[in-house]
Structure 1
């Protein structure tokens, strides 16, 4: 299937989703917001891969991972802006923002880990996207900017509730109030990026190697880790401890544990069951 904003490939149990509008600075057009959750949920629901890598096609000496929301959406009514004089404008805008938020929540909610590899500028909505991913890698020439303040907006698609899990509140406030750029090395030092690399090629090699490593692990156990880490982030310790006990009570599979131990001892890949398919109807 072809998409306006993405190319998708799957190999070795790793799905690679690439933002593919470099001539438009990978700006997020209307189709971006509907296609991304469809792609993520299709891969996850149908157990097509065990890990996802998101990256971007870039061009020029000043590459852009994503310039954020496509300004064309403001004129097309895609953000509700065209209806601002109508009585229902507020409710319509609220519904639109919730829909855009859901596009990135699909990343956080999917059962398999998502690694994002950032080359160049990650601006506005791009920051919303990367903060919803499990693991962030960057090049040394990458940067983020919570750009919305520069156009009189408050970032509203997911940056603030998620970036606070990775960086100190004071740093987040500085970025939000000033819109300044934070380069890749500082992102790593502050805890937003796991690692930075000197080149895009080096970063992509590392991202795909990490994804293949994750894909080699028991899928149900990886799913459990993702679910419990996210749950623990949003709940207190007592609630999280109870949740992991209930999870393992329900999901722990002795045969998968034995296979993992045998595979490790025999120095061979494990033969694990895929996650069950998901029906949404």
Structure 2
């Protein structure tokens, strides 16, 4: 198992196809450092490559999920253009800043690029960059005491790592606009009402146990069907219905006739649990 400075990968249990990916800077409430943005895509690529990893649970170590971008990291990103001497090339400075932003965006988008479903388990604070991360996840759950905030507007920033692009499709355009303009706190129960999370658990322990059961259930299904479902849903998000139908027809023409289909049918006929090959 690869080791990281800002993250931790742990197998749920010996032989399990569920792996936990934890933001692991609890002393800073899992604030996202430049190292976090460098390591997140590496960790997800590692899990994507593992044939025995079929579902990923993304959570935070300590008392909070994620308190947003580390202000020191934010200062590092913006300091170079702001410190330019008079007459320096501001166009080139702006281009460097754009590359930094694009790199950080890519780190969050790596969650979507991972073929395996990524399930967010949120407790405590999920603020700013934390919201960017969970909106890129495939399914989201939280505790009653969790809270969410699109906080960038209070830092004089236009959120630029994915929240403004992904949140409207999850909670609706009007709700996303209101949350992004006010930066207000959203409780776990309101997050459920908005559709930001699928279920709210009473405690961290209940969240961990409940998400484990859900992740294990997903991991027990055909890996071809699960990865295909994620891929087609993400692709169809940006297509018309007709284009989406054409895409899934093409996908299944290549993937449908796998051994998983024969095993699923056989198991159903024999009234037993199917056993699928690793991905």
What is the SS of the residue equivalent to 1:165? helix
Give the one of 259, 262, 265 matched to 1:258: 262
Q: What TM-score, normalized by structure 2, do the two folds share?
A: 0.92
Give the one of 81, 89, 97 matched to 2:79: 81
Distance in 2 (CA, whole Å) between partners of 1:143 and 1:265 is 46
Of the structure 1 ranges 7-16 and 138-147, higher mean CA displacement relative to structure 2 is found in 7-16
* 1:219-234 aligned within 5 A: 219-234=223-238
Q: How far off is 1:70 after superposition? A: 0.7
1:162 corresponds to: 166
Give the one of 82, 98, 101 matched to 1:97: 101
Distance in 1 (CA, whole Å) between partners of 2:239 and 2:150 is 27
Q: How far off is 1:95 after superposition? A: 0.4
What is the SS of the residue equivalent to 2:65? strand
Distance in 2 (CA, whole Å) between partners of 1:147 and 1:133 is 19
What is the SS of the residue equivalent to 1:263? helix
> Which structure 1 residue ranges, 4+ long, deviate > 6 Å from structure 2?
none
Give the one of 132, 136, 142 matched to 1:138: 142
Distance in 2 (CA, whole Å) between partners of 1:48 and 1:91 is 41
1:161-186: CA deviations, max 9, x gaps?
Answer: 11111112111111111110011111
1:68 corresponds to: 68
8 Å contact kept, 1:81–1:93: no
8 Å contact kept, 1:122–1:145: yes
Distance in 2 (CA, whole Å) between partners of 1:48 and 1:81 is 43
Distance in 2 (CA, whole Å) between partners of 1:51 and 1:26 is 22
Q: How far off is 1:235 after superposition? A: 0.3
1:54 corresponds to: 58
How has the CA–CA distance of structure 1 residues 48 and 100 changed in structure 2, closer, same or farther, with 3 Å as cutoff?
A: farther
Q: How far off is 1:265 after superposition? A: 4.2
State whether structure 2 residue 129 is matched by structure 1 residue 125: yes
Distance in 2 (CA, whole Å) between partners of 1:270 and 1:182 is 41
Distance in 2 (CA, whole Å) between partners of 1:188 and 1:217 is 26
Distance in 2 (CA, whole Å) between partners of 1:266 and 1:16 is 33
8 Å contact kept, 1:74–1:82: no
Distance in 2 (CA, whole Å) between partners of 1:100 and 1:48 is 28
* 1:1-281 aligned within 5 A: 1-10=2-11, 11=13, 12-59=16-63, 64-75=64-75, 77=76, 79-84=77-82, 85=84, 86-87=88-89, 88-275=92-279
What is the SS of the residue equivalent to 2:169? coil
Of the structure 1 ranges 204-213 and 254-263, higher mean CA displacement relative to structure 2 is found in 254-263
1:278 corresponds to: none
Distance in 2 (CA, whole Å) between partners of 1:264 and 1:135 is 27
Number of equivalenced pairs: 269
Give the CA RMSD over aligned residues: 1.4
1:65-88: CA deviations, max 9, x gaps?
Answer: 11111111134x3x2433332522
8 Å contact kept, 1:13–1:50: yes
